[in-house]
Structure 1
Amino acid sequence: MKAVSKNKVIAMIPARYEASRFPGKLLKDLAGKTVIRRTYEAAVDTNLFDEVYVVTDSDKIEAEIKQHGGKVIRSQKEHECGSDRIAEAVENMDVDIVLNVQGDEPFIDKNSLAKLLEVFEQDHLKEIDLASLKTALYESDEITSANNVKVITDHNDFALYFSRFPIPYPRDTSAKVTYFKHIGIYAFRKSALMDFYKLPMLPLEAAEKIECIRYLEYGKKIKMIETSVKSIGIDTPEDLEKAKKLLS
């Protein structure tokens, strides 16, 4: 049974076969199942959603999910980012909240996703456009890595900016600042997602190659939820080996 909710909530997993850093990674074996299958099944097993779909332009990924009883929506257009792929898929759906699960992040934490959805249940004035996750970073190599998107927030945990650069810049090294990594799992109001789909990319998003910056550039409100659960995104062959060790 899905958790009681007044919003209709679905999960979408955008899944491209061609990944620039690790082509075909979603169909790589991860302890007996493909990465994308593990992600899909993990999303279903949370019991948080009315429906879970993989959204893909790949025959191979479609076949893999359908072979194991999953639901697939085929992209009809070329897309530059996962939000666009999801927006096309949900455009004609009767749905309130769409949760974007990254296809290369099979270690889904149910409690974290539940907290994201709770943001909208408590947002009676509908002022929040989307919610996402952040987790604290403590190692200097993680803070400086361009592969880790960092986020800074205001005192109410609304996002101020995202960057691949360490933000804030530590000009005063005695200031006690915690750095936060953005975990690329989003919950959107459908209306905000459709706005994103129709609005052109602006310079900040283009420079950083971080799609959620587009929401900030157009004045959308992003609520960040802190989690202590460390996400393992599979961006490289080394990440896949780490994931295998975690499962074993």
Structure 2
Amino acid sequence: MPADGQAAPDEATVAHRIFEQLSEAIISGELAAGAKIKEPALAAKFGVSRAPLREAIRRLEERKLLTREPRVSARVTILTPVRVAELYAIREALEGIAAREAALRVQPADIAHLRDLLRQHEAALDATSDDLYRQGTADEDFHFFIIKCSGNASLVQILCDEYYNLIRLVRRQHSRASGRARRALIEHQQLVEALAEGDGDFAEILMRRHVAAALRSILASIATGNGTAA
């Protein structure tokens, strides 16, 4: 029992906290691609036992943020061009479906929220010269919100839970490409108008084109050693 009289957090709660902290460390680059996960050091850093730490590591492996080979410690995922292309093929197809379904269910308040997000994103772009599209947390993420608006629980689970942090990792590692941030903003604005009109067919087409354009920029940037907003 802690000194303040409150019950100690259970292992599941501790594991979730560590999962979130390690996810952010990977996405921010604090834990670099290919870095070895050293359990004793992390247990000491977080002040926890090995059991919740291992549960957090298992979840990170499920989310593909960590990889492990037999009899080898887990390492931070290295996003090769092949892996990125595979991920974005899934993303293009599923986010296209999400946009189609969102167009049929989206409410006026949702459209207002999306337009407000884009005004914030545009203001952020205007305030800097680095041509970097920052979407921040899930609450600020244009794509995350559209997926939620689809009302499709399976799509939400796959894209917002299973793949979301991996997509964020791609964005962080490939966050710059000349002109891409402005183009992405325009594409987002066009998507909102299709959603507002309830045009599911066009919303799906626009979303698929948008994700495909992001992938092309990412692959081009990998080849030249730069990066892109996705």
Higher helix proportion: 2
Higher strand proportion: 1
Bigger radius of gyration among the two: 2
- Check whether TM > 0.5: no
Band the TM-score falls in, shorter-chain normalisation? under 0.3
